[in-house]
Amino acid sequence: MDKLAIMGGSPIRENYLSYGKQTIDQDDIQAVVAVLRGDYLTTGPFVKEFEDRIASYVGAKYAVAVSNGTAALHMACFAAGIQEGDEVIVSPMTFAASANAVLYCGGTPVFVDIDPKTYNIDVNKIEEKITDKTKAIIPVDFSGQSVDMDEMRKIADKHNLIIIEDAAHALGSEYKGKKVGSKADMVEFSFHPVKPITTAEGGVVTTNSEDFYKKMLRFRTHGITRDKDILNEIHGPWYYEQHELGYNYRLTDVQSALGVSQLTKIEDFICKRREIVKYYNKEFNKVEEVITPFEAEFSNSGWHIYVIKLKLELLNATRKEIFEALQAENIGVNVHYLPVYLHPYYKKLGYSKGICPNSEELYDKMITLPLFPSMTKKDMDDVVKAVKKVISYYRK
Ligand SMILES: Cc1ncc(COP(=O)(O)O)c(C=O)c1O
């Protein structure tokens, strides 16, 4: 058996393979340079163009682009009217942005545990957490797999709740044959570099509601409006008014041009991600100690991340030891995520260990493996070889 790199053996790879990475080509660079040579750097024609293309791609009526996915969630929570005293159902198995957005508005995040198979919020556990104060649900499409939106909608309608879907991982993913992005009241996507497409930083909310759309437009630019129908007074053509406390959350024209260019390639990116996942699944399903991602029948994921779960009971190692051994083989592993309520900030707010046992169990056993469209066959093989090498060393 080959000696593990962490014990002084040779690593599977010479150079480090990161877990995720943007794919930028000459078209993208030209699109950005053209804007830099033009008249608009901040809000110009590409912002609306990007919004229109995103809306049309996901099949929604409106899109509002902002400076990042977290700002997009904040904007959606604002438009939903979340304020002090309101409770919002959220998933713990995610980045802190969705629960943080509730806090920004003065609301209280209520964590509902995940389904142990899909790692998405467990739809069957939501109703027991609904109270008179519950105003909205923010489900996360973990790793790109959509939540069961029809089931979610039944609960939301029954209790008069707004659904803000955190689809940061899921641009290009499908639910029941349709692109994610039009079924929830508002749907947020992120364009961070590791996401399905990138604008460096960037985010968007899609919606079919004109009311939410207008509220979001104002929110992303200080709460300012020039809409003659709602101005209190009109002093002249220059005139605008601030009606709410909004933010400067605008996306630039430079970034929007990159987004427009990236969006033309999304289907290729996703096709490549699906091929890699198919290969990983085929190889890792042969490894008894590894649980590969489960995909529900209604989903066709775009696979933002590839997360394996270790059967630690079959291994003489902790997740930390396996993680460090893979890193030493030069495989860029990661962990998505520490359950949000276990962050010290949330603990200070009063949340404590034990509230979502499935999420905590998953956190102890999960590892994210490299997945991005420009991976070569050798990269994929290196990941498979490294996982098999490390697992067989620690096999009981
Ligand atoms: C599920 C989820 N929601 C929201 C965000 C926030 O997106 P951004 O980094 O663009 O602010 C992220 C980012 O990693 C995420 O993974």
Ligand 1 and 370: CB distance under 6 A: no
Question: How far is the centre of ligand 1, averaged over its atoms, from the C-alpha of 95 (Å)?
Answer: 6
Q: What is the pLDDT of residues 378-387, one digit of tens each?
A: 999 999 999 9
Ligand 1 and 368: CB distance under 6 A: no
Q: Report DSSP letters for 327-373, one per residue.
A: HHTTB--B-----GGGSHHHHHTT--TTS-HHHHHHHHHEEEEP--T
pTM to 2 decimals?
A: 0.98
pLDDT for 42 equals: 94
Q: What is the 3-state secondary structure (H, E, C) of 212-242?
A: HHHHHHHHCECCEECCCCCCCCCCCCCCCEE
Query: What is the total residue count of the chain?
Result: 396
Q: What is the pLDDT of residues 21-54, one digit of tens each?
A: 999 999 999 999 999 999 999 999 999 999 999 9
Helix (H) or strand (E) holding 63, with range, is strand 62-66
Q: Please give the number of the atom of ligand 1 that sits closest to the Cα of 71.
A: 11
CB-side neighbour CA atoms (13 Å) of 191: 31
CB 270 within 8 A of CB 375: no
pLDDT for 279 equals: 98
Ligand 1 and 92: CB distance under 6 A: no
Ligand 1 and 69: CB distance under 6 A: yes
Ligand 1 and 94: CB distance under 6 A: yes
pLDDT for 2 equals: 87
Question: How far is the centre of ligand 1, averaged over its atoms, from the C-alpha of 190 (Å)?
Answer: 6
Q: What is the pLDDT of residues 101-114, one digit of tens each?
A: 999 999 999 999 99
Closest residue (by CA) to atom 10 of ligand 1? 69
Q: What is the pLDDT of residues 285-316, one digit of tens each?
A: 999 999 999 999 999 999 999 999 999 999 99
Question: How far is the centre of ligand 1, averaged over its atoms, from the C-alpha of 314 (Å)?
Answer: 34
Ligand 1 and 97: CB distance under 6 A: yes
- Is the pLDDT assigned to residue 1 strictly greater than 80? no
pLDDT for 17 equals: 98
Q: What is the pLDDT of residues 240-290, one digit of tens each?
A: 999 999 999 999 999 999 999 999 999 999 999 999 999 999 999 999 999
| Helix axes 377-394 and 319-328, enclosed angle (nearest 10) | 140
Q: What backbone torsions phi and psi does residue 88 show, to the nearest 5 degrees?
A: -130, 125
Ligand 1 and 166: CB distance under 6 A: yes
Mean pLDDT of the chain, nearest integer: 97
